[in-house]
Amino acid sequence: MMKRDQALKTLADYYPDGIVVPVYQAAFDWMGIRPHALNYLCTGAMGQASSHALGLALACPQEKVVVLDGDGSLLMNLGSLVTIGTAAPENLIHFVIYNGLYEVNGHYPVPGGTSIHFADMASAAGYRRSYRFRALPAFEAAIVEILTEPGPIFVELHAEQGEVYPKDYVAIHSAASRARFRDALRDRVRGS
């Protein structure tokens, strides 16, 4: 199984400055790997990242929007797969980092463990294309295609903890994070 930080570093290499909506453990890692004003850190309630990402994708159709979801989080908002599949934003890429655990809540297993087929669910819900990766080389080989083809795209990444980054809970709820994102998005949209 690939390491999460390696997968995220691969994404950051090919997607250095676009909008990203990361949640919980992926957010903590992502802030360390790619600190950026266009990281939308404040999703508020567990499970809501994909819905925030849809709102951003609809508001800014000229911008790519990447969501880094968790398996437990997505299980809490599975209907959003159908909502996104129906709205069909071409600029949305939905990753789920799949380790079968509520990692920030005591490493307790999620219902279904590691036997859930999220990518199949996404395809059935109307995503244009879905991928499943367990090894880094395969993900590296596909990343350019994932980032350039029209969405909505779903990517199920089986990954375990790699390098440990600080758990910055303040950042993922702070008014400063929200203001920084708002200003950066305004500058990006007006400059494009």
Partner 1 sequence: MSALDINLEGATIIAALKSADVEFVVTLPDIVTCDGLLWPMSKDEDFRLVQVCKEDEGVSICAALSYGERRAILMMQHTGLLDSINAIRAIAVEYALPVVMLVGLQGMEPGRALLESDSYGIRILPPLLKTMGVAHKVIDQDADTDDMAEVIAQAYQQSEPFVFLVSRSPMAPEEGQGQ
Interaxial angle between packed helices 118-125 and 79-87, expressed in degrees from 0 to 180 and rounded to the nearest 10: 40
Distance spanning both ends of the chain, measured CA to CA: 39
Contact region with partner 1 (CB under 8 A), list: 131-139, 146-154, 164-172, 181-189: 181-189
Contact region with partner 1 (CB under 8 A), list: 7-15, 99-107, 146-154, 183-191: 183-191
Residue 34 beta carbon to partner 1: minimum distance, rounded to whole angstroms: 19
Contact region with partner 1 (CB under 8 A), list: 7-15, 42-50, 134-142, 159-167: 42-50
- Token output for 126: 């109307």
Examine residue 48 and tell whether it contacts partner 1 (CB under 8 A). Answer: yes
In angstroms, the CA 111 to CA 113 distance is: 5
Residue 118 beta carbon to partner 1: minimum distance, rounded to whole angstroms: 16
Examine residue 53 and tell whether it contacts partner 1 (CB under 8 A). Answer: yes
* 50: CB partners within 8 A, 6+ apart: 67, 69, 74, 77, 80, 81, 84, 94
Largest CA-CA distance found in the chain, in angstroms, rounded: 45
Q: What is the binding site for partner 1 (CB under 8 A)? A: 40, 42-45, 47-48, 51-56, 58-60, 77, 79-80, 82-83, 86-87, 173, 175, 178, 181-182, 185-186, 189
